[in-house]
Amino acid sequence: MNPNLRIFLTIFCYISAVMGVVTAVLNASQKPAETTTAVVSGVIGVVFLFAGMALSRRPRH
């Protein structure tokens, strides 16, 4: 994979992860709580976090 593309995708995944978690916290703290939306946003955030971690790993030799 092109190193520049890999860096771009990694940064995109980390930013998406932060936005997903922040959205989950904001939705969960509303009155009344939007639990379904909060859970979906949290799951999407965690998936992007793991994707960013997988992309930022150094290759094994």
Q: pLDDT tens, 1-53? A: 788 999 999 999 999 999 999 999 999 898 887 888 899 999 999 999 999 99
Q: SS3 of 47, please?
A: helix
Whose tokens are 């509303």? That residue is: 30
Cβ atoms of 17 and 46 closer than 8 Å: yes
Write down the pLDDT at residue 25. Answer: 93
Q: Which residues contact 13 (CB under 8 A, 6 or more apart)?
A: 48, 49, 51, 52, 55
Confidence check: pLDDT of 60 > 80: no
Write down the pLDDT at residue 10. Answer: 94
Write down the pLDDT at residue 47. Answer: 96
